[in-house]
Amino acid sequence: MRLFVAVVLPDNLKEALRIYQQEYKSEAIRFIPEENLHLTLHFLGDTPEPAVPGLLEKLQVVAQRNKSFTLTFQETAPGPQLRSPRLIWTRFREHADFTSLATDLAQALEAAPGAHGKFIPHITIARFRKDLPKPLNLPVLPELVIPDLAVQNFSLWKSQLQSPHPHYSVLHNFNLSV
């Protein structure tokens, strides 16, 4: 089973992200379907099914140790490097509680930290097609309004690879402490 830990997005945030997606029209850009939009906390990858009960226990302990928090919008832009992007993402401002939760998850799951050793709160809204050149001069969009994201829980998700997009489903939810 391909698994990851992520935050389910509320409908109002998904709607706002759809508006941002329209700012990046190009044949070379493949938008993430609305039902797949999420805020990733940790990618586990291929996990044997017998390991899932122990994983659920670890995630429950992490949820109990961490408190709810709210992320505020920073920008939507090509990234992670503007000059040679791999995706288009909506980033939120750094938040100590997000970093604490992501670090706690990585330690509990005995995994390495995120890219560049840093946890960046973001939602991937599009990826570039590999068979076409990337468009140049894509905009950075700080001026549009994205609602705050209240992070009160996280979920264990299952990813089934399909074409043109994977199918995601939530296996279990974990409430953060208040």
SS (H, E, C) 30-86: EECCHHHCEEEEEEEEECCHHHHHHHHHHHHHHHHHCECEEECEEEEEEECCCCCCC
pLDDT tens track for 124-155? 999 999 899 988 888 888 877 889 999 999 99
Amino acid at 2: R
pTM summary value = 0.90
Q: Are 90 and 122 in contact (CB under 8 A)?
A: yes
- Which domains can be identified in the chain, with CATH numbers? 2-175 (3.90.1140.10)
pLDDT tens track for 84-121? 888 999 999 999 999 999 999 999 998 765 544 678 99
What totals of helices (H) and strands (E) does the chain contain, helices first? Answer: 3, 10
